[in-house]
Chains A and B, each alone.
Chain A
């Protein structure tokens, strides 16, 4: 924020920094950013909810991002989502009740050459099969941290 001279135009950049540090944007953080940049809280909230990249809820311990871009879609992303729903009982945008795994959908990761692609905790995996996905999340689920 200081880099941008606490100017309102630094709002999105500031929110990026907050999310990078804390994993999500909670109300306190939004209030703090809004006050420092002298923008109404409503505008900060509006921006935070407008962009898909910002999350207002804490992420699960692990995240699993399934690419649902066109190439992945026709190469079997729906089956992957189906597998996740069976395995974890959640659909994209949700976190399992125990807070272990968050499932997200992404509009194209740009790894179309490797479709269908999934990101497990920031690590991109290509040509994912439903079985491989099941195994991976099952490991997360059983893992006691």
Chain B
């Protein structure tokens, strides 16, 4: 395919869409699907058919619109958004097309939740149909790829990424440009690009949403990466728990192959690139890059000591580039608009935007994309709409089981990689869970330790035995049978795990314990000294066993 052909497809698709007077967009990402958005879409389609207005009104499935708490969401045109739509509302919505909107369903879009976001990764989510490549091309999809192929050398692409200051969105925040240039310099018979979509953090669903809403964006990012580093094969490692994302990815790959955007001699260039999907099978540790590589090779997902880094010796012993879904999704806009443009957004050391999944005790649960440096207060109380009535903010948990719980006095901290690390938490993949006064922080720490214990692969002793010991101690404390010595031992074990574990899982497993010990010491104290739980969670012994 040539740039002209691409423009031709875009033009045809735009013309096709322009003939419709009205476009009704129904969210078909997993959040809304689980509150029955598909029957709503079918009802709208039936209603359109029964009124014989197929020529001027189209009903299309689109990706996530963000406000998952109020689903199913239906958008009409560019300005009206309906929430909590049921099948029976279809006639009313069609009636309203030429008149005023249906008041009882309207979802206000002039609120901070929508106004304070800056969408780069999610710019197409909720606008394009994730199952049609033409729709993606019509909004400028794959033009960044053409630009890279036609006007830039691989080295220039890497320079542009480096200039943008983009850092790995999987959690650790390693500079993406540096990673790309390391892989491009590495020598090997073959090189691989892997997209890490094994989003194992409980409470995080950004990657799933991106894959379900805009799969072509990820493919485009991977293609540009392949061009920059000279790779010929790519894998997307995605959780088997995300059937919808897998289905959409498969469709997207097929469409891209049919258009000649994937396969041999892409767009007449010398680059050949194939993408295949590999399914995860429910192992959190496979998010660690060496474990992930083992899993793709068909083995147990067990990490191995680094170096050698995957950039030198990765999949099948060849140089391998591994990036997260969100990182790849950020690539196309950077190439299109230049690294400088991206670097203007965000803070000094953390550039660009970050997608966060807001969940827990908060009004507007859902997906938000904000510039780096937005404060926690803005995120929780303005965008998130605060806590449900009658509840008091206690902590916000970031970074999943490897992160920490931050109390109220950190609310005004701008969120970026360094600040979170200093506060004893991590950015992680972007899960953000708000807890109120009904959560017991010791119990939360125990919950995360339970998670790390069962997800530990068992290769290294500190992690295998340490997590289990810490879990035992925390269980004892939550059953109000602990003493001051148990807390001292917890601290000692936490330090040991941090220093001696082989991979990130073990090294970060103590984070929830350490951060709660640091900020909520009085809760631990109450458990061991007065034998009671201030939140009233632990009084009847153990919760879930």
Residues of A bordering B, CB below 8 Å: 7-13, 15-16, 43, 46-47, 50-54, 68-71, 73-75, 77-78, 81-82, 91, 106-115, 117, 123-126
Contact = CB atoms under 8 A, between A and B. Distances in A.
Contact of A68 (B33, B357, B544): B544
Interface centre among A50, A70, A73, A91 (most CB of B within 10 A): A70
A13 B298 contact: yes
9 closest pairs, A vs B, by CB?
A113-B68, A69-B202, A51-B281, A124-B34, A112-B359, A53-B282, A52-B282, A108-B202, A11-B298
Interface of B: 30-31, 33-35, 68-69, 71, 199-205, 208, 240-242, 278-284, 295-301, 357, 359-361, 365-366, 397, 400, 431, 433, 435, 438-439, 444, 447-448, 451, 455, 457, 543-545
A110 B543 contact: no
Given A13-B278, A52-B282, A69-B203, A113 B299 contact: no
28 contacts: A8-B298, A9-B296, A12-B295, A12-B298, A13-B279, A13-B298, A15-B281, A16-B240, A43-B299, A50-B300, A52-B283, A54-B281, A70-B360, A73-B202, A78-B544, A82-B544, A107-B200, A108-B204, A108-B205, A111-B68, A112-B205, A112-B357, A113-B68, A113-B359, A114-B31, A114-B35, A115-B365, A125-B34
A77 B357 CA distance: 19
Contact of B34 (A8, A16, A46, A111): A111
A52 B281 contact: yes
A132 B128 CA distance: 36
Contacts of B34: 111, 114, 117, 123-126
Nearest to B448: A70
Nearest to B203: A70
A78 B68 contact: no
A7 B297 CA distance: 10
B365 A109 contact: no
B299 A47 contact: yes
B440 to A, nearest CB: 10
Contacts of B205: 108, 110-113
B278 A12 contact: yes
A18 to B, nearest CB: 12
B439 to A, nearest CB: 5
Contact of B359 (A16, A43, A46, A71): A71
A23 B10 CA distance: 43
Nearest to B366: A113
Given A75-B360, A112-B203, A11 B35 contact: no
Given A112-B359, A114-B35, A70 B433 contact: yes
A83 to B, nearest CB: 12
B281 A53 contact: yes
B299 A74 contact: no
A77 to B, nearest CB: 8
Contact of A111 (B30, B284, B451, B545): B30
Contacts of B545: 91
Contacts of B301: 50-51
Contact of B543 (A8, A69, A78): A78
Nearest to A115: B359
B240 A74 contact: no
B360 A16 contact: no
B360 A71 contact: yes
Contacts of B71: 113-114
A46 B300 contact: yes
Contacts of A8: 298
B30 A110 contact: yes
A100 to B, nearest CB: 23
B279 to A, nearest CB: 5
Contacts of B360: 70-71, 74-75, 112, 115
